[in-house]
Structure 1
């Protein structure tokens, strides 16, 4: 059995990815706080912004598209526990990345996951606000945390399919000998 060392939990891009994640979490929390407490979206109901975009208040008790809806404390705990396990797994992956774009992607996903798991733990459901629609078809309602997750996944897919497209073709890690951090 191998022993755990510092590199298991912290790598050359961990600080960068962690800061991206914390910034994403902060933006998501601030937006949700503002929408619920200042803008009072629940009292306003559906607010038409454009002919294809509305602001609404929806509490998602499930995961994507409302799947696996959790209406009991046990269900909420199971979904929150699963999300925390994903966050731990992503954090361990972040410690091993070699490319800045991968750290950016994982940081975005972490920020979004933290924002949504916070809602699930403290409210029992995730607050969603953005509703796009066209020709009578309504896409799922989502929030800023979901945007971070989608962007992070998009970067990972782009990096996997076209490594040079998003700058992932080169290792651009900070100088570890000088103890530097990424720019």
Structure 2
């Protein structure tokens, strides 16, 4: 479980550091966009009041607190799950990524009322209209990792 804590801690810290750097130090909240390596990597300020791709995006206080609560419940459920059914090293890493990313977005909702998204990537003539952040990457990788790396013992036990 220490691995879950440390991966979550460093994921959370990296997420919050990049958001502070981009939103405040580079002042993306005022500039709205900075081309870094166009079109592959751009910084585009987007305040996400909802979930992925802005779904359920409502700047009301109720939605904000419901999404904070959901993220906290999911984080607690992931920790409970990996404590109850230890997934192995990569499963712990995945759980830490998921929890650290979720808590990073919780802090954004508490501080700003929305999640600060700023990474935008496009390629090959496709103009991506969406932005994301380090926490989003971590949650996605963590969820994928939990799918891939949990239940490994069950598979080995069932094999002939």
- The TM-score with structure 1 as length reference comes to 0.75
RMSD (Å), alpha carbons: 2.2
SS in 2 for 1:138: coil
Unaligned runs of 5+ in 2: none
Q: What residue in structure 2 maps to residue 18 of structure 1?
A: 5
- The TM-score with structure 2 as length reference comes to 0.85
CA contact (8 A) 1:80 1:117 kept: yes
1:61 aligns with 2:49: yes
4+ runs deviating over 3 angstroms: none
Rg larger in structure: 1
1:56-109 deviations in Å (ceiling 9; x for gaps): 111000000100112211111111111111111111113132411110000000
Quote the offset at 1:139 in angstroms: 5.0
CA contact (8 A) 2:47 2:114 kept: yes
Q: How does 1:1-183 map to 2 (within 5 A)?
A: 14-52=1-39, 53-96=41-84, 97-134=86-123, 135-138=125-128, 140-159=130-149
Aligned length: 152
CA contact (8 A) 1:70 1:79 kept: no
Unaligned runs of 5+ in 1: 1-13, 164-168, 170-183
Higher share of residues assigned helix: 2
